[in-house]
Amino acid sequence: MDPVVAEARTFQLFIAGEWVDSGGGRTFESRNPADTRDLIGHFQAGTAADVARAIRSAETAGLRWRRTPAPKRGEILYRFGALLAEHKERLARAMTREMGKVLTEARGDVQEGIDIAFLMAGEGRRLFGDTTPSELPDKWAMSIREPIGVAGIITPWNFPMAIPCWKMMPALVSGNTVVFKPSSDTPHCATLLVELMAAAGFPAGTVNLVTGPGAEVGDAIVSSPDVPVISFTGNTETGRRLATQAATRLKRVSLELGGKNGIVVLADADLDLATDGILWSAFGTTGQRCTAASRVIAERTVVDPLLERLERRAKALRLGSGLDSGTDVGPLVNAGALSKVTGYIEVGRREGELVTGGRRGSSAGLEHGHFFEPTIFAGVAPMDRIAQEEIFGPVLSVIPVDDYQGAVTALNQVRYGLSSSIFTRDANTAFRAMRDFETGIVYINAGTIGAETHLPFGGTKETGNGHREAGHAALDTYTEWKSIYVDFSGHLQRAQIDNQPG
Ligand code: UN1
């Protein structure tokens, strides 16, 4: 039965290869943010006891999984990627229904999952370490990657399939097992993913799904002594709390947190191209990407022609259900997001000049959803609150500056450092920007969104804690280095001593 048209049913946890109810006996609902009358399903409100069972199951499965040859593990990832591709449309529709992004973007989200599954499937035949000469004769040295153990995977709703895949694929291919706690806004997406993981042949216990509140399920994962590595994507305050809690157990924690990404537009830019890049980055996914552009930093001489283009184009964007092909911008994810964005409109009115938007979507058909108009503020100063704080909605601030140096200063003057971009036709300036922009990702003549899965993804400053997802860099989060020395000389050789004169 297609879950998208099914009656709302009650979904279960996935522990030790079985779909089971929570021991706590409570459930929560997931609803369509474009029309909250549409109930997607009831999901288990997991408890600390459920998490403990999931961790035990992951530990047990790990004993075998870590001994399974990595190329064999990779084959299962490959099958999972193929299943995602086969079910792409069904998954994308379920995603749009559950979290709102327009269907083309939901397809892109699934595609990102496919891409990382295939990339990491290939890692099953790489997982490279080093072999290197020893400083002593008749001695050999190498380093290998080893799995860490049970990985706690705590994910957000905005990329409800791509981000879990970014985390689980490298964790699994390198021999770890997983306890997966998805956002309570997207438990259905998580369930569909895990169903396909089971179908792909991940052995019982290698992947466990526990839905439920962060305060209970997330907390139980983070505080468990038996989950040595945690990967979390979400807001900075939660990440900070989580890292603090995990530090008492000396856990490895990989954090992908907030962003306040900026697009620099210089006087020599192609303004039409810049306009396309800005609109896509600011209002795609209704501004709910960590990589979304919420600041445009423009040389004063081009502010007016740029604003004229942005205003005209933003006004033409159609709000609606992401399942309708005419829709450009879907709803915000929930009522909390709507009230947060609305609150920032008041702040923005005090700090800048409202150019367009600033209101809930009010046209017919939108009354049951969390819609908000694409919003632009002009005349914003770099240190204003709307230019500093992550709003996570369709709100863009335009900040005028005098020149390139002013743009660099404004761009870098935020606590985050995920993505940035510059529009210029000058190659020398573009290279300066690659050097000067203090972000983990830099785009030249493109917006701030659209990272590809074979490059490292992550940011500087309070965007994270130095780890990167995706690319082979992701393996660093989920593996422990082991250095191995083999002495075949037949006698004791002392490093640093026996090869030195005297
Ligand atoms: C996120 O918003 O956390 O680069 C992830 C992008 C996407 C991933 C975004 N590929 O916008």
The continuous run of DSSP H or E covering 307 comes out as: helix 300-316
Q: What CA–CA distances, in Å, run from 481 to 61, 126, 251?
A: 22, 15, 15
Question: Ligand 1 pocket test: which of 254, 283, 291, 333 has the largest number of ligand atoms within 8 Å of its C-beta?
Answer: 291
What pTM was computed for the model? 0.96
d(CA 299, CA 15): 55
User: Is 155 touching ligand 1 by the criterion CB < 6 Å?
Assistant: no
User: What crossing angle do the helices spanning 162-173 and 70-86 adopt, rounded to 10°?
Assistant: 160
- Tokens representing 145? 């990657």
User: Is 289 touching ligand 1 by the criterion CB < 6 Å?
Assistant: yes
| pLDDT computed for residue 8 by the predictor | 86
| pLDDT computed for residue 502 by the predictor | 75
- The number of the ligand 1 atom at minimal distance from the alpha carbon of 156 is 3
| pLDDT computed for residue 1 by the predictor | 36
- Is residue 282 a contact partner of residue 294, using CB atoms and an 8 Å limit? yes
DSSP per position, 96-122: HHHH---HHHHHHHHHHHHHHHHHHHH
d(CA 14, CA 209): 5
Q: How far is the CA of 290 from the centre of ligand 1 (A)?
A: 6
User: Is 448 touching ligand 1 by the criterion CB < 6 Å?
Assistant: no
User: Is 159 touching ligand 1 by the criterion CB < 6 Å?
Assistant: yes
d(CA 394, CA 414): 19
The continuous run of DSSP H or E covering 231 comes out as: strand 229-233
d(CA 190, CA 205): 16
Q: Helix, strand or coil for residue 328? A: coil
d(CA 40, CA 186): 10
| pLDDT computed for residue 3 by the predictor | 42
- The number of the ligand 1 atom at minimal distance from the alpha carbon of 288 is 2
- Is residue 373 a contact partner of residue 394, using CB atoms and an 8 Å limit? yes
Q: How far is the CA of 163 from the centre of ligand 1 (A)?
A: 8
User: Is 166 touching ligand 1 by the criterion CB < 6 Å?
Assistant: no
- Is residue 338 a contact partner of residue 362, using CB atoms and an 8 Å limit? no
Q: How far is the CA of 442 from the centre of ligand 1 (A)?
A: 13
User: Is 288 touching ligand 1 by the criterion CB < 6 Å?
Assistant: no
| Residue 127: DSSP 8-state | -
Low-confidence ranges of the chain (pLDDT < 50): 1-5
| Chain center to CA of 240 | 16
User: Is 116 touching ligand 1 by the criterion CB < 6 Å?
Assistant: no
Q: How far is the CA of 319 from the centre of ligand 1 (A)?
A: 21
| pLDDT computed for residue 438 by the predictor | 98
How many helices (DSSP H) and strands (DSSP E) are in the chain? 15, 22
- Domains within the chain, CATH numbers bracketed: 9-257+464-482 (3.40.605.10), 261-444 (3.40.309.10)
Q: How far is the CA of 169 from the centre of ligand 1 (A)?
A: 17
> To which residue do tokens 């199951």 refer?
57
Candidates 98, 105, 165, 290; catalytic one: 290
User: Is 293 touching ligand 1 by the criterion CB < 6 Å?
Assistant: no
Q: How far is the CA of 501 from the centre of ligand 1 (A)?
A: 56
Q: What is the dihedral of CA 357, 362, 363, 367, to 10 degrees?
A: 140
User: Is 118 touching ligand 1 by the criterion CB < 6 Å?
Assistant: no
- The number of the ligand 1 atom at minimal distance from the alpha carbon of 289 is 2
- The number of the ligand 1 atom at minimal distance from the alpha carbon of 112 is 10
User: Is 451 touching ligand 1 by the criterion CB < 6 Å?
Assistant: yes
Q: How far is the CA of 455 from the centre of ligand 1 (A)?
A: 12
d(CA 69, CA 73): 6
Which residues make Cβ contacts (< 8 Å) with residue 315, sequence separation at least 6?
356
- Tokens representing 384? 């204003």
DSSP per position, 358-419: -SB--STT-TTS--B--EEEES--TTSHHHHS---SSEEEEEEESSHHHHHHHHH-SSEESE
Candidates 105, 112, 256, 469; catalytic one: 256
Does the annotation count 256 as an active-site position? yes
